[in-house]
Structure formats: structure tokens, C-alpha cells
Amino acid sequence: MALPDLDTSVGHSFGLEVDGITIKQISEVTGLKMEQDVIELKQNMADGKYVVKKLPGRMKAGEVVFTRGLTADNSFEKWVKDSRFGKMGSARKNGVVVVYDYEGQPIKRYKIMRAWPKALEIGTLKAGDTSVLTEKLTVTYEEMEVE
């Protein structure tokens, strides 16, 4: 369902799709960014005036961090294991971060291409603590598109 004009989305519901599997237990996604280099072209004009022009350069690769509560699901660990042991053919994947509206319908999709896990961090283990134990997966990607 498309949002009406002048309405914005609340990013409270989202998920990650990799290999046709949707992981919706993710509590936070940070670092989704499309960026490119800037090339400065410096030249003198015919009248002798010095001019600097800025031109678009190559797209930059990025990193995104997925945080979720620790569960029995080991999909993050399997993905990390493939890249850790150099199985880049199976570790390098395309994925999609999907943002859903209040009715559960997808409203925006951010496709990350040729992504692989760089790090897996487990939250602090502290005796007597009652906070949710989390795991953070840092994924590096070569390209991002908005679908």
C-alpha cells in the first residue's frame, strides 16, 4: 500500500530477506547508505578564471549492522562460518531490507548486493542482568539499490 502524499513511514517493522528466507526478529538496522566519490575537476576558463567543478565518481561499498535478540536461529552463525573459512562463493549473497507499513505490507525495499558478514558480536553477558541478550551482525556490501 502506497503512503498518501505528505505522510511518512514509521520504521517500526522491518525484516531481512536472504536466500528467500525472511528474518523479522531484527530489532535494529543501522548503516544503510548509498554513497559515491566526488571528483574535483580544476581548470582555467578561456577568460583565465579558475573554476572547480564537482563530478560524480564511483559508488562506494558500505556496511550495515543488523541487531536482534539472541534466539535459537543460527542463520547468522552459518553465514559467518562460510565467509570465515573462505567459502566466498556461498558467503557472498544478495539480500533485501524490507520496511513494512502498519498493515504489514512492504513499502520500501533496500537491496544490498554481493554482501558478506564481516563480524558477529554477542551482547554483554552480565550475571544478574535482566536485559535482552543481543547479537549484532556487521555485513559489508558492494552495492545498494532502492527498489
| Burial category of 96 from C-beta neighbours within 10 Å (exposed 0-12, middle 13-18, buried 19 and up) | middle
Q: What pLDDT, on a 0 to 100 scale, did the predictor assign at position 140? A: 93
Q: pTM here? A: 0.79
| pLDDT (tens digit per residue) in 11-67 | 678 888 887 777 878 889 999 999 999 999 999 999 999 999 999 999 999 999 999
In angstroms, what CA-CA distances link 29 with 25, 101, 133?
Answer: 11, 16, 16
Q: Which residues are bridge partners to 13 per DSSP?
A: none
Q: What pLDDT, on a 0 to 100 scale, did the predictor assign at position 63? A: 95
In angstroms, what CA-CA distances link 119 with 5, 19, 66, 122?
Answer: 40, 19, 11, 10
